[in-house]
Amino acid sequence: MSDRLESSTPVLSPERLQQIQQENPFVRISDAVYDILEEAILSSQLEAGSKLKINTIADQLGVSGTPVREAIERLSARGLVVEQLVDGKKYKSYHVFDIDDTDIAELFMARKAIDGIAAYICAEKNWRVDVEELERHAAAFRSAMHEYVMGRAAWLDAAADRALHVYIVNAAQNKYLSDMYHSIDKKLNYLSVRTCEYLAAAKKRDDLLRICSQHDAVINAIRMGFPQLARQVMDEHVDFCEANCLNYRSISRLDSKK
């Protein structure tokens, strides 16, 4: 994704689009719009549950509705936007994805069950795990975390966090485990994004950096071939993320009402 614009410039603006085009003159308009909308969602400039109006967004960016629709469809496939059929299923309505506290708790429970056993299998059969790739994902997330903590990024990019967890599940090479995981992949992606968002909004530097240390602990347990330890530290990592996600989500909601 392109470098972030200064916070004084609105994300949904022709200036943001122009910046992306200046950085990459060959970028497709729909790809640029996708980056802009993704940034707006992940930075909460487009709030969870808010309706996305194609014509309004097109006017804000100074583009036609076609690239906006294409970008929104891609965001829907990723799970950051939900579609609803309206008017006798003739038209689609789009909203920024959101889930309630009960769904979040149940989703974390499912994630813990799958991630924990996947980490166990990876440590038990670590000869088929590319530990260096795991370390690259962990390093990428640590770098994103550092950029945010140092104030050089407007929001915390959770992509590397998701990549690390997805790799561990796939590396377990259990078809049914992978099927279960990927059946809730869109919501897990949202959960990862929101966890990082709530932690970041709370400005808890130690909690943010602790996530990086937990990633390292999981990787080390897999590298050393300690299945029980790998599962234990993965469980602790997921529990930590759940507690903080729900806690800071509640604080965020209270702050928004003030």
Three-class HEC string of the chain: CCCCCCCCCCCCCHHHHHHHHHHCCCCCHHHHHHHHHHHHHHCCCCCCCCEECHHHHHHHHCCCHHHHHHHHHHHHHHCCEEEEEECCCCEEEEEECCCCHHHHHHHHHHHHHHHHHHHHHHHHCHHHCCHHHHHHHHHHHHHHHHHHHCCCCCCCCCHHHHHHHHHHHHHCCCHHHHHHHHHCHHHHHHHHHHHHHHHHHCCCHHHHHHHHHHHHHHHHHHHHCCHHHHHHHHHHHHHHHHHHHHHHHHHHHHHHHC
More confident residue, 106 or 194: 106
13-27, 191-205, 240-254, range with the lowest pLDDT: 191-205
Confidence of residue 154 (pLDDT cuts 50, 70, 90): low
Whether 255 has a pLDDT exceeding 60, the answer reads no
Whether 231 has a pLDDT exceeding 70, the answer reads yes
pLDDT tens-digit map of 101-137: 888 899 999 999 999 999 999 999 999 999 999 999 9
Whether 156 has a pLDDT exceeding 80, the answer reads no
Cα–Cα distance for residue pair 221/219, rounded to 1 Å: 5
Q: Domain 101-257 carries which CATH code?
A: 1.20.120.530
Cα–Cα distance for residue pair 40/97, rounded to 1 Å: 13
Whole-number pLDDT of residue 90: 67
Q: Domain 14-96 carries which CATH code?
A: 1.10.10.10
Ranked by mean pLDDT, which of 73-82, 144-153, 181-190, 227-236 comes out on top? Answer: 227-236
Cα–Cα distance for residue pair 244/198, rounded to 1 Å: 8
35-39, 147-151, 215-219, 238-242, range with the lowest pLDDT: 147-151
Shortest CA distance to 104 belongs to which of 210, 224, 226, 252? Answer: 252
Dihedral class, residue 53 (left if φ above 0, else alpha if ψ from -120 to 50, else beta): beta
Tell me the average pLDDT of the chain.
86
Provide the residue ranges of all domains of the chain, joining segments of one domain with +. 14-96, 101-257
Whole-number pLDDT of residue 7: 40
More confident residue, 253 or 112: 112
pLDDT tens-digit map of 40-72: 887 677 888 899 999 999 999 999 999 999 999
pLDDT tens-digit map of 17-35: 999 999 999 999 999 999 9
Whether 181 has a pLDDT exceeding 60, the answer reads yes
Angle at 152 between CA 150 and CA 157, to 5 degrees: 95
Whole-number pLDDT of residue 1: 39
